[in-house]
């Protein structure tokens, strides 16, 4: 799995592109852009592909920056456990178009819609949007809706324009 967070500066402040999930895991929640990594595809290549499929925006792999990884654990439904590569970027081309899976929309970074997002996003997403690189292990409670345990580390090297994502599988 991978998630891509595109950021832009506006007169109202910095905004991040998120989307209302229309189908699949997380339907009805506001989520990051991204999804499954296909067989033989790197996390980064999946991020580029998923960004285009879900938003119509073209991103160049060298313009996405490695923001770390989050591993999610759902004790009541272990088949939902996942490890997610995180990317951040500020450069793209194209116009936003909704897909059958996601309705993309810009949101102010200073006022993230965390009440409509997965509970974990309030914990790690602000770090990524500040340009930090993280690793996190998030465990949900038995209901699968509330974070029960968090282990988050901010890594020594922050995400900068000089540290583009490396191709990883």
For the stretch 101-123, pLDDT in tens is 999 999 999 999 999 999 999 99
Q: Which CATH superfamily is domain 2-154 in?
A: Nucleoside Triphosphate Pyrophosphohydrolase (3.90.79.10)
Residue with tokens 């690793």: 135
With a pLDDT cut of 70, the percent of the chain lying above it is 92
Cβ contact 19:30 at 8 Å: yes
**The tokens of 74 are what?**
């759902």
pLDDT band at 167 (very low <50, low <70, confident <90, very high): very low
Integer-rounded Cα Rg, in Å, for the chain is: 15
Nearest to 87 by CA among 103, 110, 69, 99: 69
Query: If you average pLDDT over residues 16-45, what whole number do you get?
Result: 93
CB-neighbour burial class of residue 116 (10 A; exposed 0-12, middle 13-18, buried 19+): middle
Residues 6+ apart with CB under 8 A from 19: 30, 31, 32, 33, 54, 55, 102, 103, 104, 105
């Amino acid at each position: 799995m991978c998630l891509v967070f595109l950021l832009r500066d506006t007169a109202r402040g910095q905004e991040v592109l998120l989307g209302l999930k229309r189908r699949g895991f997380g339907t009805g929640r506001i989520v990051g852009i991204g999804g499954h990594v296909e067989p033989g595809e790197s996390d980064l290549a999946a991020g580029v592909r998923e960004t285009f499929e879900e938003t119509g925006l073209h991103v160049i792999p060298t313009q996405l920056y490695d923001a770390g990884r989050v591993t999610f654990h759902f004790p009541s439904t272990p088949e939902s456990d996942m490890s997610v590569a995180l990317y951040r970027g500020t450069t793209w081309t194209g116009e936003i178009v909704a897909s059958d899976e996601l309705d993309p929309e810009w949101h102010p970074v200073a006022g993230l819609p965390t009440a409509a997002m997965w509970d974990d996003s309030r914990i790690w997403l602000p770090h990524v949007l500040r340009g930090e690189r993280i690793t996190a292990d998030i465990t949900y409670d038995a209901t699968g809706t509330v974070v029960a345990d968090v282990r988050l580390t901010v890594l020594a090297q922050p995400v900068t324009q000089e540290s583009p994502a490396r191709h990883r599988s």
